[in-house]
Structure 1
């Protein structure tokens, strides 16, 4: 089974999703012979034996080996890692949309845990935790000196148990937030009618995404009393999920044809994934909302709709995770699984968005312009991130040439300026004109 995820998996158990950020550079050496490899394995065994006999406290062999495997894999890229048997079971629960946890995507920056995004319908989201927050303490103990995995393990726990984290936020005093871990049975698709325009939000691409979208379309048609006048599809802060779900969701808007392609090492193992024929929303105007935390499967859907000229993409440049991970069970899962980056993915136009993200057709900010240059957290910022093989695409954007539509200074961000602009485009009829301009 293949996953196109920025975070779901590996140490994602209990609803705390983590980008691993081990900063271990691989040395450029000649390809070793088998004899060289066995000599290195002998070296590993010697080191492990010395640790077992002489380290100041007793250590467990299993934990040493697991940490060594993770060190090797995490030196490759931020998304490859070892999934131990316990986390393997939790990961399977999570992709089904049911898990125990607090619900955050996190990474590590300058020794602290940084929140990439809280997940809808979870304790973290309900407690007001925001993207960009730093976790400096867990249950009163500093996170400095801890690896990301160690910090994540301290936040994990059983349903009903609490964990207190200290949050540091720009221009605010640190504050303590107590979260109660709970079982979350998330409906990842929500919908409503916004000022006469149907609106559907997909918060994650687990196994419920495509069925939930189809159900939402059916119900919105019933409420409207016919075909939809347009649709706003919201994948902001959506970290991604299952590759097959991104294909099925795209099929609602595309009548066959390519959604995404993937390529392995040296361009090998080329695979193309097509939308199913018979789109559910033929000729319905579609605007996709994205932001800096839209990643992976979210970017596949947005990129396919954009490249195929099927709709407009509105918001801010997305996260830029353009790699595919394969989950490889070890001994049928009894020894856990290997989560390994095996392919890059490409939009229908052949674009790799690795590290660069999807640029919207219309740049619209969610917050007023304060005159500051706010750097976005992107895939390219993660240690050991795979480079985009297209050097021109990987160049930084010239922000001076990017025209961003900011909300007024007194605008209440809770009113969602990006969504308002999308609804106005569809209602005013300017959607068709803007789409035609992009296609010419």
Structure 2
């Protein structure tokens, strides 16, 4: 064994240095430290044996990278080693700029599982859904494939193709999807008036400018008309930046705790509170969620629910309530490490539980009714030939397309209809109270 020691010594120096950096922020007992050093020496010796005896010459860097990936893979689905390329892609993603098919994924019970598709992306257009299982990517089985490795395979240049095999509950066998990669939309916020004085807003994910874009959308709506009620749609929103979840929640709250985090070390125990003065802090609010609402989306929904600031409508959320800290490494790579859990203002853990809606409304797929309004006698004045135009009819013509789109959306989306009906009721009740 003496012939292996020069290699072992070099590797041990590297590993001991890495371990010492973690010991600076973690309380490790002397007994545990000695045990770790002993195990690291075993690793170094195994590496040396491979360098001298493996049938082909090995790349030490690749071996160590693989060992680190394996180390993190044994912890939880969200901790990962990010090679320089992957680390750069993660930074681009939080800035809202990357090319792929537009899904958030995780490892659930050892299986590559979709958290949520992002609206307006190839994945959403193909009707991929939360909890779908990705069985293969370009013919390669995903069993024991890490989330970061899968993300790397799913991403690629705009216009390139990727083939995935997907299993869904109720399907007798997996189905194949051939998707063309595209630039994932930079704009994470959409808004319009869904009814007079009632606004619909949608946040598709939480990027670095989400809250500022959301406030801008509100100001643009207020230029069109008064906002007396809001719908915030967080369905199929896989999450994103914690800071943006906190600041968006703050938009609707004037005081109180928004979210807290609890970890092993004192610096991981943090609390985030609301501030006075946000423009949307008083209007009636409905928040739409579903099984594809995760992480940052759950923070927002949980905070607004706990403060009784909003009525949460939809289905149980995904339950991704852990905090990932990104630690850059000198090589240009990075570690994504789970360091804490999220807790709502009323002390409830989000992890693996999710947010339970106040009004549970399962999504029902739309089936177009095969009726003829003319034959059934449902004819309006505007349907009659040569009818006299109303004073506002010509002005309304320019917005007819949008109105029809909204009507179609409401016909097809039973959860949105429920949210709008509740919001109308709240608005009507508020007007009655004002009259009194």
Asked if residue 366 in structure 1 is aligned to residue 348 in structure 2, the reply is no
Look up the match of 1:218.
Answer: 219
Look up the match of 2:208.
Answer: 207
Deviation larger for 118-127 or 268-277: 268-277
Flag the 1:328–1:151 CA change in 2: closer, same or farther, 3 A.
closer
Gaps of 5+ in 2: 1-28, 366-408, 431-436
Paired residue secondary structure (2:120): coil
Separation of aligned partners in 1, 2:75 and 2:143: 23
Flag the 1:143–1:296 CA change in 2: closer, same or farther, 3 A.
closer
Separation of aligned partners in 2, 1:74 and 1:292: 25
Look up the match of 1:287.
Answer: 286
Separation of aligned partners in 2, 1:136 and 1:162: 17
Tell me, yes or no, if the aligned pair for 2:285 and 2:311 is still in contact at 8 Å: yes
Flag the 1:268–1:55 CA change in 2: closer, same or farther, 3 A.
same
What's the CA shift string for 1:308-336, capped at 9, x where partnerless? 121111111212222211111112xx431
Tell me, yes or no, if the aligned pair for 2:80 and 2:335 is still in contact at 8 Å: yes
Separation of aligned partners in 2, 1:269 and 1:143: 33
Q: Which has the higher helix share?
A: 2
Asked if residue 426 in structure 1 is aligned to residue 423 in structure 2, the reply is yes
Flag the 1:86–1:218 CA change in 2: closer, same or farther, 3 A.
same
Structure with max Cα Rg = 2
Asked if residue 179 in structure 1 is aligned to residue 179 in structure 2, the reply is yes
What's the CA shift string for 1:392-414, capped at 9, x where partnerless? xxxxxxxxxxxxxxxxxxxx997
Deviation larger for 212-221 or 105-114: 105-114
Question: RMSD value over aligned CA atoms?
Answer: 2.9
Look up the match of 1:255.
Answer: 254
Flag the 1:316–1:69 CA change in 2: closer, same or farther, 3 A.
same
What's the CA shift string for 1:12-69, capped at 9, x where partnerless? xxxxxxxxxxxxxxxxxx9744333222111001122233344455542222211211
Asked if residue 242 in structure 1 is aligned to residue 270 in structure 2, the reply is no
Paired residue secondary structure (2:252): coil
After TM superposition, the structure 1 = structure 2 runs for residues 215-364 of structure 1, keeping only pairs within 5 Å, are 215-223=216-224, 225-226=225-226, 228-265=227-264, 269-331=268-330, 334-364=331-361
Deviation at 1:288, TM superposition (A): 0.8
Tell me, yes or no, if the aligned pair for 1:103 and 1:119 is still in contact at 8 Å: yes
Flag the 1:195–1:150 CA change in 2: closer, same or farther, 3 A.
same
Look up the match of 1:44.
Answer: 43
Flag the 1:164–1:49 CA change in 2: closer, same or farther, 3 A.
same
Paired residue secondary structure (1:366): coil
Flag the 1:141–1:243 CA change in 2: closer, same or farther, 3 A.
closer
Tell me, yes or no, if the aligned pair for 1:260 and 1:345 is still in contact at 8 Å: yes
Scaled by the length of structure 2, the TM-score of the pair is 0.75
Q: Which has the higher contact order (CA 8 A, sep 6+)?
A: 1
Separation of aligned partners in 1, 2:299 and 2:349: 10
Separation of aligned partners in 1, 2:45 and 2:116: 42
Separation of aligned partners in 2, 1:243 and 1:180: 30
Look up the match of 1:93.
Answer: 92
Tell me, yes or no, if the aligned pair for 1:254 and 1:277 is still in contact at 8 Å: yes
Separation of aligned partners in 1, 2:36 and 2:144: 32
Scaled by the length of structure 1, the TM-score of the pair is 0.74
Flag the 1:201–1:137 CA change in 2: closer, same or farther, 3 A.
same
Separation of aligned partners in 1, 2:167 and 2:411: 22
Deviation at 1:276, TM superposition (A): 2.8
Deviation at 1:239, TM superposition (A): 1.3
Separation of aligned partners in 2, 1:117 and 1:87: 20
Tell me, yes or no, if the aligned pair for 1:285 and 1:431 is still in contact at 8 Å: no
